[in-house]
Each structure stands twice: as structure tokens, then as C-alpha cells.
Amino acid sequence: MTRSASRHDLYAIIHKAMRLCMTDALVRFGRMDADDDEERAEAIEAVRSMLDLAAVHLEDENRFVHPALAARCADAAERSAREHAEHEREIESLRTGLRTLERAAPTERSGHALRLYRQLALYVAENFVHMHHEETHNMRALWAHYDDDELRAIEQAIVASIEPQTMARFVGWMFPAVSHPERVALLPEEAPPELVELALDAVDARLGRRERDRLAASRSGTVIMACAA
Ligand SMILES: [Fe+2]
């Protein structure tokens, strides 16, 4: 276990982001007044946006992580791949449920919203179990068969494959979801100014000015001035 702390981890940061994004969407949906048009539209959008990111994340793992596991770690990806197929079906079912809620008659809205909330809660719960398996079983298999440079190359391939707008949304969940030292490590000296700005804005929006300033203070004077303007 001590060894894992010093190894490059493909799952830890992005899964913290996904846990925050999923629980935020679930809680928003649970507290929604289904008869308030604006609130309903916002909650539906939050869930829809979460499902879109979950679909991209799942596809990234299918395209880049599972082939790496299959290449050197026998059938280590088998359970995750099976669960991904289930999650794809569940994402579609939840999307259908959101569309049904949008079209539901006023008398049916709150009942439908409650059923959908419970379905969403189970989806999130299944994802928590799923991510734990990936972070422990899959990551251990990868560490046994890949060195950190190879793992970073896989991660870079994932990052390069993601559209900038989608990446900005991942960044928006990632920075508020991780610890301050992890935020600092995600913004090395050579980080692009746009990334620094996105990260500071995300921390400001979700955690407040104090945490935003704490992260800014860890950067060079030039960057702080550029982003504080
Ligand atoms: Fe996964």
C-alpha cells in the first residue's frame, strides 16, 4: 500500500471528480421542486451534464485503459468492461427518464421525479463500487506491468483525445474535488495559463475565495497577477 502512494495513479484524481459530479447531480435532483419550471430544468441539466461526462469517462477507459490491461494483465479488465456495458445501458435509460420527466403532465411530475431520483441513486452507488474496483484491483494490475512513464503516456493519450470544451468541464469538477496539495501538483510551473484560470475559477465557484487564493498563492507572481485581474 505504501508503494502505491509513490506510483502514478490513473484513476485517483478523475474518480474524485466523477464522485463529486455524480453526488452533486444526485443531491440537486433530490431537492428539486418538480413543479418549479426553472428548478426542474436546472436539475435535469445537471444530471444530463453528469451523464455526458460519465459516458466520455467510460469511453476513455474502454479506449485507452482496458487495452493496456488486456495487453499485459490477462483478464484484469473483464469485470470493469462488463460493468461499463451495464453503465452504458443505464445512462441511456436515465436519459430516457429525463426526457419523460420533461414531457410529463403536471400531475405525474413529482412521482416520476422520485422514481428517477431512486434510479439515479442506484446508478451512482453502482459507480462507487465500480470505481473502487478499478482503483484497487485494476490499478494494482497496471502497476505490476507498467512503469510510471508508460502510465503517464496512457494518461496523455486520454487527455489529448478529449475535446477542449469537455476537458474544461472535467477540470471544473476535478479541482474542487481534490485536496489542496493535489491541486498544486495538477498545476505545474509549465501549466497553460488557460488551465490555471479554469482551475482557479472552479475552486472559487465551488469552494470560495479563500481556497482560490490559497491555490493562486502557490503559483508564481506573474500567474497570480494574470488570473486575479
Ligand atoms: Fe470505469
Is 202 part of a structural domain of the chain?
yes
225 Cα to the center of ligand 1, angstroms: 39
- 12 and 55 both lie in a single domain: yes
18 Cα to the center of ligand 1, angstroms: 10
209 Cα to the center of ligand 1, angstroms: 33
151 Cα to the center of ligand 1, angstroms: 16
pLDDT of residue 223: 47
- 156 and 195 both lie in a single domain: no
pLDDT of residue 141: 95
9 Cα to the center of ligand 1, angstroms: 14
Following DSSP, what letter does each residue of 37-92 receive, concatenated? HHHHHHHHHHHHHHHHHHHHHHHHIIIIIHHHHHHHSTTTTHHHHHHHHHHHHHHH
Phi, psi (degrees; rounded to nearest 5) at 24: -60, -45
Residue 78: CB partners within 8 Å, gap ≥ 6?
none
134 Cα to the center of ligand 1, angstroms: 7
Is 88 part of a structural domain of the chain?
yes
Residue where the block lists cell 481556497 = 211
155: domain CATH number is: 1.20.120.520
**pLDDT confidence of 2, banded at 50, 70, 90?**
very low
205 Cα to the center of ligand 1, angstroms: 27
- 50 and 6 both lie in a single domain: yes
- 109 and 217 both lie in a single domain: no
Report residue 146 as a C-alpha cell.
507498467
- 145 and 188 both lie in a single domain: no
87 Cα to the center of ligand 1, angstroms: 9
- 158 and 184 both lie in a single domain: no
13 Cα to the center of ligand 1, angstroms: 13
Following DSSP, what letter does each residue of 169-224 receive, concatenated? HHHHHHHHHS-HHHHHHHS-TT--HHHHHHHHHHHHHHH-HHHHHHHHHTS-HHHH
Is 173 part of a structural domain of the chain?
no
- 126 and 72 both lie in a single domain: yes
Q: Which domain holds residue 214?
A: 179-229
- Write the pLDDT tens digit of every residue in 100-154: 999 999 999 999 999 999 999 999 999 999 999 999 999 999 999 999 999 999 9
Dihedral (C-alpha) 181, 186, 187, 188: value to the nearest 10 degrees?
90
CA distances from 149 to 8, 138, 152, 162, 207 (A): 9, 17, 5, 20, 33
**pLDDT confidence of 76, banded at 50, 70, 90?**
confident
Average pLDDT estimate for 74-82: 90
CA separation for the pair 194, 118 (Å, rounded): 38
Rounded percentage of the chain residues whose pLDDT exceeds 90: 89
Closest residue by Cα to residue 132 from 6, 18, 3 = 18
Is 61 part of a structural domain of the chain?
yes
Give the residue from 162, 194, 209 where a domain finishes: 162
pLDDT of residue 4: 55
Is 168 part of a structural domain of the chain?
no
Average pLDDT estimate for 9-35: 97
Cα Rg of the chain, angstroms: 19
215: pLDDT strictly greater than 90: yes
- 137 and 205 both lie in a single domain: no
- 15 and 128 both lie in a single domain: yes
User: What predicted TM-score, i.e. pTM, was given to this entire model?
Assistant: 0.91
- 21 and 125 both lie in a single domain: yes
Is 174 part of a structural domain of the chain?
no
149 Cα to the center of ligand 1, angstroms: 22
Is 170 part of a structural domain of the chain?
no
- 93 and 131 both lie in a single domain: yes
Report residue 212 as a C-alpha cell.
482560490
135 Cα to the center of ligand 1, angstroms: 9
Is 49 part of a structural domain of the chain?
yes
**pLDDT confidence of 24, banded at 50, 70, 90?**
very high
79 Cα to the center of ligand 1, angstroms: 10
Helix axes 193-207, 221-228, angle to 10 degrees: 60
User: How many domains, the chain?
Assistant: 2
CA separation for the pair 57, 63 (Å, rounded): 10
- 156 and 184 both lie in a single domain: no
